[in-house]
Structure formats: structure tokens, C-alpha cells
Amino acid sequence: MEPLICEFCQHNTAARRVTKNHWLNGRLYIVENVEAQVCPECHERYYHATTLDAIDAFLSQEHPVQATLQVEVVRMQAKSKQAG
Ligand SMILES: [Zn+2]
């Protein structure tokens, strides 16, 4: 994937391998070693459509699993206008 211009801060992105949270068919996967272009300034990540398709294809067939995690889903509380 070619370097891009970050759409938020206009810096040139660089090729990196990242760990991506990836949803497929209602399930969350943590996918390691994913090709991405990453902005060195704001850390925004950009993925090529073919990379995302490759992840979907990999997950859709039988695949090795490195680990299975339980995760907490939490929600931040809205700040009360009276507080503080
Ligand atoms: Zn940026």
C-alpha cells in the first residue's frame, strides 16, 4: 500500500503492521500483524480495502486462534451540569 496524506493533519503516512479490532458477522476479533498506513502525527490508521477483504476471508474459513479473551463493555457516564 502506498503512503497517503493523512486526511486530518496532512502528514505523510508510513507503512506499519498493527493490531486491529475487527468486527465480522457480529463477532469481535483482535487481528495481529495487519498491514496499515499510519499517520506519525495523529496516529490515524488507514487500511486498504483489499487488506480488509483479506481479513474477512481469513476469519471466514478455519483459522488458527492465538488466544481467546473475555472483554468488558463499559460506558462513560455523562457529566452532570451541577457537578464541579
Ligand atoms: Zn494525521
Q: What is the pTM of this model?
A: 0.84
The pLDDT of residue 53 is 98
Question: All 3 cell numbers of residue 56?
Answer: 474477512
For ligand 1, the distance from its centroid to the CA atom of residue 14, given in whole angstroms, is 11
Residue among 52, 19, 15 at smallest CA distance from 33: 19
pLDDT digit string, tens, across residues 7-29: 999 999 999 999 999 999 999 99
Residue among 53, 48, 52, 41 at smallest CA distance from 8: 41
The pLDDT of residue 84 is 55
For ligand 1, the distance from its centroid to the CA atom of residue 15, given in whole angstroms, is 14
Mean pLDDT computed over every residue of the chain: 94
Domains of the chain and CATH, by start: 1-71 (3.10.20.860)
For ligand 1, the distance from its centroid to the CA atom of residue 76, given in whole angstroms, is 26
